[in-house]
Amino acid sequence: MGPVIAFLPEHADEIHIRSTLHFAIEEAKKSKNRLTVYVNVKSSSSFLEGVFGREDLSRLHRNQSVVINGVKITLESKATLAPYTAHDVILAIHASPTLCAGIDGIKERGSFILVADKADVPDEWINSHQVRLLKAEE
């Protein structure tokens, strides 16, 4: 299993999510150029339109992949999480504790990157997973 990395601003907005997506794409370039983005519920992830754009998000919602900067990206949710499927890099956006636990259970994965509101991620989880915290550039 790869490292757990998190960006936890006070409120993770579209700019924070887009920045973390860029970081995750760079991480995926180091492996097999595949990135899986996890959200709690696909149908309620309209907030991603500002991150991916309407056309790419529509494709992702239809279970099609998109390629950004040479990285193949797919969108998954709690309902489609498959613990026995290998994942190169995972980006979880505003993941619930249930989704995080499901991602923890994935048997074969590279980096697990989380972007969420700081208040939504317990310190116990950060400490037990030896999370490397990303900082916003000043």
Which of 137, 133, 138 has the alpha carbon at shortest distance from 116? 133
Task: Please give the model's pTM, rounded to 2 decimal places.
Answer: 0.94
Which of 69, 66, 14 has the alpha carbon at shortest distance from 37? 66
What CA–CA distances, in Å, run from 53 to 3, 8, 12, 46? 29, 23, 18, 10
Domain boundaries, given as residue ranges, for the chain:
4-133
Name the CATH topology of 4-133. Answer: Rossmann fold (3.40.50)
pLDDT digits (tens, 9 = 90+) for 30-64: 988 899 999 998 877 767 888 998 999 999 999 99
138 band by pLDDT with thresholds 50, 70 and 90:
very low
